[in-house]
Chain A
C-alpha cells in the first residue's frame, strides 16, 4: 500500500482525531471483524451441540467386513472401528498411488502428443483430452465399472493366459512375489531383510550416479552414470538374493471354484476407480504439460534442432526439464485432486476411507465426528503429497540445465 504523506505546502490542519488515522481504523475494523467471526463460531458450536462429541465409539468392534484388502488381515468382529478406518485409509492410498503413477505417464505422453508435428497424433491426443476432461469423473468411474463387470466374461469363462494371468469380471489375477522359506528354510522376516538391503543398494547406486554426473560435469568426459548405477544395483540385488537363499518366489494365481487364490488380484472395483481417476486426471495433466511446453521460447527447440539432437533427445534433454518448472506446481494440484476424487470409490463399491466413514456414521449416527475425521485424513494426505512434491520441485528448479 502506498503511504500518503501530507504535502508540506498545505496549511497546517487541525490535529486529526484518532479514528481518522489509518492504523487505528484498521485496528478497529479488525476488532469488529474478530468479534463477528467469534460470534459466528460460537453460534455454530452452540448449534452443533457438542456435548456428546467424542471419538470413543471408534474403539468398538466394527461389525462388518471390507473387501479389497491387501497386505492386511482384517475382520470386523474382533477388530475395532479405528483399525478398520486405518485399513480403509490404506485402501485409499493404494488407489491414489497407482492413479497418480498412471495419470502422470498418460498425461505427459498425451500432452507431448498434442504438440506433435504429426497431425493425426496431435488430433487424437486432443480427442482424448476433450473427451475425458469434459465428462464427470463419477460417470466415467461407474461406466468403467459397468464395462468391467458386464462386458468382461464371468469367472466361468475366464481368459486364461498361460495359467498365470487371468481376466474375468472377478478381476485380474497376475503372478506376484511372495516371501518364501528359500534354500535355508528361513523365517518370513528374511524377505524384509532383503528389501532393506535392496533399499541400501538403491541408495548407494544413487550416490554413485550423482558422483559420476558431477565428474561428467567437471571433466566433460563420459562417465556413464546410469549404466554404473544400474549395474551396481543389479549386482547387489543378485548377490544378496543368493546370499539370503532366495527368500522370494513368484506365486502364480490359481482359480478355485469361483474365486482366485494367491497371486495379485486386482478387483474390478479397484480397476474402475484407478482407470477413471487416471484417465480423467491425465487429460488435465496433458493440458498442463502442453501449456508448460508452449510457454518455453521457441528458440529452445530451434537451438536443439540446430545442434542436431533427435526429437526424443530434444524432448527429454531440452524441453521437458525446463518445462517442468512451470508444470510441477500445477501437477501437484492435480495430485491433490486425485486425493480428494478418490472419495468417489463408494460409487463402485470400493471400501475407501470415505465409504467406511459413511458406514460408521450410519451405524452410530456420529456425523460430526466422522466428518472431522474425514477432513483431517484428507488434509493429512494432501500435506503429505504437497511435501513430497515440494521436495521434487525444489530439486527440479535448482537443477540448472
Chain B
C-alpha cells in the first residue's frame, strides 16, 4: 500500500515535471531531426534562452536581485525585443566556458553571447556559426603593481592564472613555448582566477584585456594591480549560434548590424519613437521598417517582420548607447580603440541595411 503510493507519487511528480519541461518547448528540441530554425522554436516558446557568462562586470553580471546586466545581456534583450516584441522575454543561463558549445549544440541555449572569441576551429569544427563581432579586444596580463613585471619578457617561471579550455590558454602555451619560458598554470573559471590572483596565489592573471581592465577597475584596491601594456592575441568577441540555421543567424546578424547602423544614422533610444512616426530619410525609414513619405515599407526578406530592428532600438538603444551604458561604466573608454565607429578611427562597421 505504502509502496504503491510512493511509486504513484513519484510517477506523478515525474510526469508533472516532464510536462512542464516540455511546456517550455524543449521537449521536442532534442529528438527533432529536421533542421528547423531556432527562430521558430524561440517564437513558439515565447522566451529566448541566452547563454551568458554572468560574472563579468560590464558584460554580463548577476545582480543581487537575480537580474542580469551588461553589454552581452543588452544584446540578448535586443534580440528578444526584435523577435518576441518583449525585451524581458529572456531566460539567462550562466554558462561555463567549458560547456558553452555543447549547450548550444543541445539547444539548451538559442544564442551564445558570452565573450566568445571567433576562431576558425570553432566555426568549422565545433558546429558554431558566428554573428558579427560585437567587441574587439586582445589577450593581456594583469599583475600586482609591485611585482616588477612589465612585459611578457619578465615572466619566466611565474605562476599564471588562466581560464582552462579557452583560446586564452592556447595563446599562453604558444607564447611561452615561443619565448622558451616555463610557467605554472592555475586554471579555473574566470571568477576563481580573479580571486586567486587578488589573494596573491598567482603572479599574473591572463585574459581579454577588456575583461582584466574592467574587473580590476571595480576592485576596492584597484591601485594594487595593473594590466601590462602588451597584447598577445586578437580576440574578436561575437554571438554564436548553431551551424546551418540561416534564418536565425540572419536575424541576429542584422540585429547587431542594425544597432551599429543606427548609431551611424543617429537613431537613439530617445528619438526612435519620433523617427518611427516621421523618419528623416529613407535609410532611417528602412532601418526602422516604416514607410518614408507615404512610400512602401521595404521588406528585405527576414523571417521576422520588418520592424524588428526598431523594436531592438526601442528596447536597448543603438550600439554606442549600449556601450556607454555598460562597458564604459566599468572604465573601458571607447574613443581611440578598435571599438569606435569606423568613422572615428575604430573598426566597428556595418554593411548597409538595404
Q: Which of A45-64 contact B (CB under 8 A)?
A: 63-64
State whether A64 touches B173 (Cβ < 8 A): yes
- Chain A interface residue number, banded: 20 to 34
State whether A358 touches B165 (Cβ < 8 A): yes
A67 to B164, CA, bound (A): 12
The reply on A179 being an interface residue by CB < 8 A is: no
Query: Which residues of the partner chain B approach A64 to less than 8 Å between Cβ atoms?
Result: 164, 169-170, 173, 185, 187
State whether A349 touches B200 (Cβ < 8 A): no
A155 to B200, CA, bound (A): 8
State whether A154 touches B200 (Cβ < 8 A): yes
The reply on B126 being an interface residue by CB < 8 A is: yes
A257 to B147, CA, bound (A): 9
Query: Which residues of the partner chain B approach A77 to less than 8 Å between Cβ atoms?
Result: 173, 177
Query: Which residues of the partner chain A approach B187 to less than 8 Å between Cβ atoms?
Result: 64, 66-67, 349, 351, 359
The reply on A221 being an interface residue by CB < 8 A is: no
Q: Which of A336-375 contact B (CB under 8 A)?
A: 346, 349, 351, 355, 358-359, 361-363, 365, 367
The reply on B183 being an interface residue by CB < 8 A is: yes
Query: Which residues of the partner chain B approach A259 to less than 8 Å between Cβ atoms?
Result: 157-159, 184, 203
A63 to B119, CA, bound (A): 16
State whether A363 touches B165 (Cβ < 8 A): yes
A355 to B97, CA, bound (A): 13
Q: Return A77 CB to nearest CB of chain B, in Å.
A: 5
The reply on A65 being an interface residue by CB < 8 A is: yes
Query: Which residues of the partner chain B approach A156 to less than 8 Å between Cβ atoms?
Result: 200
The reply on A44 being an interface residue by CB < 8 A is: no
The reply on A393 being an interface residue by CB < 8 A is: no
State whether B125 touches A365 (Cβ < 8 A): yes
Query: Which residues of the partner chain A approach B186 to less than 8 Å between Cβ atoms?
Result: 67, 269, 349
The reply on B4 being an interface residue by CB < 8 A is: no
**Residue tally, chain B, CB below 8 Å to A:** 31
State whether B173 touches A170 (Cβ < 8 A): no
Instruction: State whether A76 and B173 are in contact (beta carbons under 8 Å apart), knowing that A65-B185, A149-B195, A365-B101 are contacts in the complex.
Output: yes
Per a CB cutoff under 8 Å, which of A63, A67, A349 touches B170?
A63
Per a CB cutoff under 8 Å, which of A67, A150, A362 touches B98?
A362
Chain B's closest residue to A349 (CB) is: B188
A296 to B169, CA, bound (A): 57
Q: Which of A75-121 contact B (CB under 8 A)?
A: 76-77
A63 to B165, CA, bound (A): 10
Q: Return A315 CB to nearest CB of chain B, in Å.
A: 42
Per a CB cutoff under 8 Å, which of A63, A170, A362 touches B159?
A170
A176 to B267, CA, bound (A): 69
Q: Return A171 CB to nearest CB of chain B, in Å.
A: 9
The reply on A268 being an interface residue by CB < 8 A is: yes
Chain B's closest residue to A156 (CB) is: B200
Instruction: State whether A169 and B201 are in contact (beta carbons under 8 Å apart), knowing that A258-B147, A365-B101 are contacts in the complex.
Output: yes
A150 to B169, CA, bound (A): 25
Query: Which residues of the partner chain B approach A67 to less than 8 Å between Cβ atoms?
Result: 159, 184-187
Chain A's closest residue to B100 (CB) is: A362
State whether B173 touches A65 (Cβ < 8 A): yes
The reply on B192 being an interface residue by CB < 8 A is: yes
The reply on B113 being an interface residue by CB < 8 A is: no
Query: Which residues of the partner chain A approach B196 to less than 8 Å between Cβ atoms?
Result: 149, 349
Query: Which residues of the partner chain B approach A358 to less than 8 Å between Cβ atoms?
Result: 98, 165
State whether A362 touches B203 (Cβ < 8 A): no
Query: Which residues of the partner chain A approach B195 to less than 8 Å between Cβ atoms?
Result: 146, 149-150
Query: Which residues of the partner chain A approach B99 to less than 8 Å between Cβ atoms?
Result: 362
**Contact string against A for B residues 189-202, beta-carbon threshold 8 Å, 1 for contact and 0 otherwise:** 00010011001110
Q: Return B183 CB to nearest CB of chain A, in Å.
A: 7
State whether B192 touches A349 (Cβ < 8 A): yes
Q: Return A206 CB to nearest CB of chain B, in Å.
A: 41
A89 to B318, CA, bound (A): 51
Chain A's closest residue to B165 (CB) is: A362
Query: Which residues of the partner chain B approach A155 to less than 8 Å between Cβ atoms?
Result: 200
Query: Which residues of the partner chain A approach B125 to less than 8 Å between Cβ atoms?
Result: 365
A249 to B200, CA, bound (A): 32
Instruction: State whether A359 and B165 are in contact (beta carbons under 8 Å apart), knowing that A66-B185, A349-B188, A349-B192 are contacts in the complex.
Output: yes
Query: Which residues of the partner chain B approach A150 to less than 8 Å between Cβ atoms?
Result: 195, 199
The reply on B102 being an interface residue by CB < 8 A is: yes
A34 to B177, CA, bound (A): 55
State whether A149 touches B164 (Cβ < 8 A): no
Query: Which residues of the partner chain B approach A268 to less than 8 Å between Cβ atoms?
Result: 201
A150 to B197, CA, bound (A): 11
State whether A149 touches B199 (Cβ < 8 A): yes
Query: Which residues of the partner chain B approach A367 to less than 8 Å between Cβ atoms?
Result: 102
Q: Return B61 CB to nearest CB of chain A, in Å.
A: 21
A63 to B121, CA, bound (A): 14
Instruction: State whether A169 and B188 are in contact (beta carbons under 8 Å apart), knowing that A257-B157, A358-B165, A365-B125 are contacts in the complex.
Output: no
State whether A169 touches B200 (Cβ < 8 A): yes
State whether A365 touches B165 (Cβ < 8 A): no
Query: Which residues of the partner chain B approach A146 to less than 8 Å between Cβ atoms?
Result: 195
Query: Which residues of the partner chain A approach B102 to less than 8 Å between Cβ atoms?
Result: 365, 367
State whether A258 touches B185 (Cβ < 8 A): no
**Contact string against A for B residues 73-104, beta-carbon threshold 8 Å, 1 for contact and 0 otherwise:** 00000000000000000000000011101100
Known: A154-B199, A365-B126. 17 other contacts (CB 8 A): A64-B169, A64-B187, A65-B173, A65-B183, A65-B185, A149-B195, A155-B200, A257-B157, A257-B158, A258-B159, A259-B157, A259-B184, A349-B186, A362-B98, A362-B99, A365-B101, A367-B102
Q: List 13 A-B contacts (CB under 8 A).
A: A64-B185, A65-B184, A67-B159, A67-B186, A149-B199, A257-B158, A259-B158, A346-B188, A355-B164, A358-B98, A362-B165, A365-B102, A365-B125
B residues within 8 Å of A by Cβ? 97-99, 101-102, 125-127, 147, 157-159, 164-165, 169-170, 173, 177, 183-188, 192, 195-196, 199-201, 203
Q: Which 10 pairs, one residue from A and one from B, show the smallest C-beta to C-beta distance?
A: A154-B200, A362-B165, A349-B188, A149-B199, A359-B165, A362-B98, A77-B177, A149-B201, A65-B185, A64-B169
